[in-house]
Structure 1
Amino acid sequence: MRNLNLDHVQTLVAIADLGTLAAAAQALHLAAPTVSLHISELESRLGAVLLVRGRRQARLTPAGELLVRGGRHLLAGASGLGEQVRRRAQGLEGVVRLASTAGVSARMLPQLLQALTERSPGVDLRLDVLSSSQAMARLRAGALDVAIVALPQTHGADIHVQPWRNDPVVAWLPPGWKAPKAVTPAWLAERDWMCFDPSTRLYQLAAGWFARAGLSARPQLELNHPDAIRALVAAGRAAALLPLEHGDAPDGSTMQQRPLKPPLLRPLGLACRASDADDPVLQSVLQALQDVAGGRA
């Protein structure tokens, strides 16, 4: 048996609700012969009589009543599916797999979720915390949709990377330290300090900052967890070089914060597969990320 035509089922449901073929034709904006044809084709396809046509009113047979009950569910399901497809096409509903470096995800995620909820409440975000190199590899493998990565990144034509924001790197200092208004490489090189490990872009930025001053300073502790590093700074263990993210504000009773001289910026970008760049749901997330950038893109 061929599948049911939902337009024909809708016609039968309208007759059941309104009582006559003429009223159903008017409600559905169909010609009366078209309504009759819909019912005839349904009956032929199912091999069952669905309506008993009277002078004033059409009456459903038991088979017709069964089809109307099930047909209402079919029509509701089709309508819901159509709405889901429309929302997906408009970028209002879907699932996006996002990766972020440990240096930004914990503080950025609540802001991103809020921005995404306001823009596209039906989009579900799945987050992984990965290094930039790991994220780029998973993008190429199709295991991610978008990634926040440190710049620059080597990539081919299959990956699209756009600048996102630039965060200033600052010195986070223990509460008891006497510090200048701006921290220089020479000043920090004489003290204990912490940073991310050598595999990260932040470590490379810090190494370059010292190198341009003619210094080769290594951190006393390498740890890829910014909140843990801040906790060690607050405990007086050492200073730290960390990005100042949008909304960051150190607790004045436990930590000090100083700009660097010369200044140092950590550039971040958004990476996605070039083949997915025009996907409406992905575009919703990319726009929400731009909203979260806080004017630093």
Structure 2
Amino acid sequence: MIEARRLHILRAVADHGTVTAAAAALYLTPSAVSQQLAALEQETGHKLVERGAKGVRLTPAGEILLRHTNAVLAQLERAEAELAAYSTGAAGTVTLASFATGINLVVGPALAGLGRTAPGIRVRVLDAEGDASLPMVLDRQVDIAVAVEYRGAPGADDPRLSRVPLYEEPFDAVLPVLHRLAGAERVALEELAKDTWIGPYPGNPCHDVVVLACEHAGFQPQFEHSSDDFRAVVALAQAGAGVALVPRSALHGMDLTDVAVRPVDSVAPTRKVFAAVRHGAEEHPLLRPVLDALGAAAAR
């Protein structure tokens, strides 16, 4: 008989690429993870992982088991959801991870709505960038992620996750007030090819959006200054340190003196935001109201 908790460990090792990283995500020791993998190999009668200099990879037998693992764990999530609905209804705690602007734009309003419609649900919010929040869902550290599409993100058809689209927003060009294009109504990205750039660190989903937009315009942006805080990005632009692309909602409420904020000509880079839960958990009586509240807040 294969134990479900060992399947969860197998998937974590596949997701993180090393026993050490999987152990950290699961709050286990590396030796405990290795022991559970060895026990799973005994249960199945197959070698499931191979260790190399750069980490761990699944064997062909391990890949077969991983495909079934995604289906089994999703079905267990559905079973938990139905049992929760049968026994208790909507009363308990949900942990949600979101990037800062998502908290401002949809999570906060959603919590206010839940306070009126589902007062038995308590939501605990963690500030986490989109590239961090999705692994947190898969590792069961949080129940819901509000995340951003980025290069390398799990796709919409990923069998491990279920998604709820929330909103899309364009990025605007932020230029020093004395920039040569500050007086233009709109800015073509290719005209900024030789400028110094300010932006988020590599790995931040917004960094990927900016780089991909510039690549489509035919150049690689030269980042001289880096910050994941868009207030700092705007402050650097105000100081004349360079140009930037910033999500429109992140500019709300900022002091925008000494910068020119202009829409991007042609197809603007866009941030696509969605909520995600583990596949099978989308109808859990605690999670469904939160997902619905997030969708309603985004629609408003």
TM-score by length of 1: 0.62
**Secondary structure of 2:203's aligned partner:** coil
Asked if 1:277 is matched to 2:275, the reply is: no
Percent of paired sites with the same residue: 22
Task: Tell me by how many angstroms 1:100 deviates.
Answer: 0.9
> Which one of 187, 208, 215 corresponds to residue 204 of structure 1?
208
Rate the CA distance shift 1:102–1:246 in 2: closer, same or farther, 3 A.
closer
Contact 2:94 2:123 in 1 (8 A): yes
Matches within 5 A, 1:137-286: 137-151=135-149, 153-154=153-154, 156-177=158-179, 178-245=182-249, 248=252, 250-251=254-255, 253-262=257-266, 263-286=268-291
Task: Tell me by how many angstroms 1:96 deviates.
Answer: 1.0
Contact 1:168 1:243 in 2 (8 A): yes
Contact 2:168 2:273 in 1 (8 A): yes
The code of the aligned residue for 2:166 comes to W
Partner Cα distance (2:256, 2:131) in 1 = 35
**Secondary structure of 2:214's aligned partner:** helix
The code of the aligned residue for 1:278 comes to E
Matches within 5 A, 1:86-165: 89=89, 91=90, 93-106=91-104, 108-151=106-149, 153-154=153-154, 156-165=158-167
Q: Deviations over 1:111-153 (max 9, x none)?
A: 3332332332332221122233322222112111100111263
Task: Tell me by how many angstroms 1:259 deviates.
Answer: 0.6
Rate the CA distance shift 1:231–1:123 in 2: closer, same or farther, 3 A.
farther
Q: Which residue does 1:34 correspond to in 2?
A: none
Contact 1:250 1:256 in 2 (8 A): no
**Secondary structure of 1:276's aligned partner:** coil
TM-score by length of 2: 0.61
Contact 2:105 2:298 in 1 (8 A): no
Q: Which residue does 2:70 correspond to in 1?
A: none
How big is the alpha-carbon RMSD for the aligned residues of Structure 1 and Structure 2? Answer: 2.8
Contact 1:116 1:123 in 2 (8 A): yes
**Secondary structure of 1:219's aligned partner:** strand
5+ unaligned residues in a row in structure 2: which ranges? 1-84
Partner Cα distance (2:250, 2:205) in 1 = 19
**Secondary structure of 1:275's aligned partner:** coil
Q: Deviations over 1:183-232 (max 9, x none)?
A: 21122223333111221222222112112222122222121122332333
Rate the CA distance shift 1:282–1:246 in 2: closer, same or farther, 3 A.
farther
Report the structure number with the largest CA radius of gyration.
1
Task: Tell me by how many angstroms 1:250 deviates.
Answer: 4.8
